Amino acid sequence: MEPPLIRDWPGPLDVGGLAADSVEQARRAVERVAGLRGIDAEVGTSAALIVGAFDAIGHLRIDGRPAPGWAPLSGFVEAADGWVRLHGNFPHHAEAIRASLQVGGPEELAAAVSRLPAAQVEERVQAAGGIVTVVRSPAHWEQHPHHRATCDVPWHRVLPGAERRVLGAAQDVPLQGVRVLDLTRVIAGPVCSQLLGCLGSEVLRIDPPHRPELLEHHLSTGMGKRSAQLDLGKHLDVLHEHLLPGADVVLLGYRPGSLDRFGLAPAGLAQRFPHLVIGSLSAWGEHGPWGSTAGFDSIVQAATGIASVCGGEDGRPGALPVQALDHSSGYLLAARVIDLLADARGGRVHVNLLGAARELLRRAVPERAGGDALREDDTAQAGNAIDAGAGGAGPDSGGAGPATVDLDTPHGRVRTVPVPLTFDGAPISGPIAEYGTARPHWDGGASGAVPPSVTG
């Protein structure tokens, strides 16, 4: 099956091709594991489903209301000699911006940044633990030390490990009986785990009590999961004696190195639990000057030259119509994880947003280059303030807009989009549980009893 042709998204880069190819990788992996487990079903996709899924947060409605808009300190800001991109959606990142630049609101931020060179803004905010980048052209990025250190690092890398249990026959869903421990946040990792959950896996997402996820992220990527809060520093026994031994898959999406103190470094984890399939997501890859630096889709876009390529003739940076780096990386990670499960192998899968950016920059659309650029003001800025696109109808979606599902959740009536795959033509979705209230244990008690007090 050829990936569907998507022409819904304007701009000088082939975002539709990147999206369709990543979903096709996942579709093939699901089709393969379904066949191996004796499930006779046609696994499909469509342009409309992909367009909807890649703008899930833009289509999210909570009791009829759209997700919250831009965080006040997020976005492009003009510096004395160029532009910077800031990310202040999470409270601790916003506080780092305020403290490092001695500002309060967006007006003070604009004034302070306008007086400083862009590189100095980047240095100050990063030193304070904030998320920022200079907006660079592709040529400018190619001179950056991190590009030079990582230019040969692939978008995804699979390191097969030891043999693990063979997935036996399944009745209705291809990942029945698979347990996924989800230690990811924001978009790419949760997109991966949502797909695995909607395909029948038991997905348990763990978040730290002191730093909860934004609600709109939970609702737009939370189908098919349970959600728990657990302080790993206080409850390592729960992690290492119950959750990890009972899991089949572990997804890691925090800043590289930040979970090592909990025994969650990917290499060490694979050595101790060789049966695990370990998916590791990062913004910048896991090596080089920025290897241990946090990042988001919009920041990687701005650093690598995508925002410059998508900018207008007046020099203002532009944006992708959807968060294509996040979503394509999430579906690619899911594909490779499923492949290892189908092969009855443990091992590691490493995926980075930087590789997605490089791949997209190679997909320039000649007839659009230098024109039809998408300005940030033209996009539907939604909940996480990272260039969420308007999505909806387009030439290949029949003018009907994306399919949606309405779900009754503990957080209200939620309208969201299904995952971008179908079984025998039927869209796939799942329930959304209440955020952070599940007990951190596997259903059925296979990993042993967990005391009820471990949620703090």
Q: What is the pLDDT of residue 444?
A: 55
Parallel, antiparallel, or unpaired for β 249-252 and 277-282?
parallel
* pLDDT tens track for 227-254: 999 999 999 999 999 999 999 999 999 9
Read off the pLDDT of each residue in 113-129 and give the average, rounded to a whole number.
97
Contact 249, 201 (CB under 8 A): yes
Confidence bin at 451 (pLDDT 50/70/90):
very low
Cα–Cα distance for residue pair 167/36, rounded to 1 Å: 8
The first and second tokens of residue 267, run together, are: 């290499």
* pLDDT tens track for 4-22: 888 889 899 999 999 999 9
Contact 218, 435 (CB under 8 A): yes
Whose tokens are 């809060």? That residue is: 229
Q: What is the pLDDT of residue 386?
A: 26
Share of the chain above pLDDT 90, in %: 82
Domains and CATH numbers, the chain: 15-70+155-448 (3.40.50.10540), 75-147 (no CATH)
Residues 6+ apart with CB under 8 A from 59: 52, 391, 392, 402, 404, 415, 416, 417
Contact 351, 156 (CB under 8 A): yes
pLDDT at 450 over 60: no
DSSP letters of 86-115? EE--SHHHHHHHHHHHT--SHHHHHHHHHT
| pTM summary value | 0.90
Q: What is the pLDDT of residue 7?
A: 83
Burial class of residue 410, CB neighbours in 10 A (0-12, 13-18, 19+): exposed
Distances in Å between the Cα of 141 and the Cα atoms of 162, 306, 355 are 39, 10, 13
pLDDT at 392 over 80: no
* pLDDT tens track for 38-87: 999 999 999 999 999 999 999 999 999 998 876 899 999 999 999 999 99
The first and second tokens of residue 117, run together, are: 């060179």
CA 137-142-144 angle, to 5 degrees, is 100
Cα–Cα distance for residue pair 207/184, rounded to 1 Å: 8
Cα–Cα distance for residue pair 144/86, rounded to 1 Å: 19
Q: What is the pLDDT of residue 367?
A: 64
Q: What is the pLDDT of residue 1?
A: 75
Q: What is the pLDDT of residue 381?
A: 29
Indicate the average pLDDT of the chain: 89
Burial class of residue 61, CB neighbours in 10 A (0-12, 13-18, 19+): middle
Read off the pLDDT of each residue in 390-408 and give the average, rounded to a whole number.
59
Q: Is 21 helix (H, G, I), strand (E, B) or coil?
A: helix
pLDDT at 172 over 70: yes
Of the candidate ranges 44-48, 198-202, 312-316, the one whose mean pLDDT is the lowest: 312-316
Confidence bin at 368 (pLDDT 50/70/90):
low
Contact 27, 332 (CB under 8 A): no
Q: What is the pLDDT of residue 5?
A: 87
Parallel, antiparallel, or unpaired for β 75-79 and 82-87?
antiparallel
Cα–Cα distance for residue pair 124/119, rounded to 1 Å: 9
Whose tokens are 């100050």? That residue is: 124
Residues 6+ apart with CB under 8 A from 297: 187, 188, 323, 324, 325, 326, 353, 386, 387
Q: What is the pLDDT of residue 2?
A: 81
SS3 content of the chain, % helix, strand, coil (to 5): 35, 20, 45
Q: Is 269 helix (H, G, I), strand (E, B) or coil?
A: helix
The first and second tokens of residue 161, run together, are: 């490990």
Distances in Å between the Cα of 9 and the Cα atoms of 219, 271, 299, 324, 386 are 24, 43, 20, 11, 16
Read off the pLDDT of each residue in 354-376 and give the average, rounded to a whole number.
74
pLDDT at 287 over 70: yes
Q: What is the pLDDT of residue 401?
A: 66
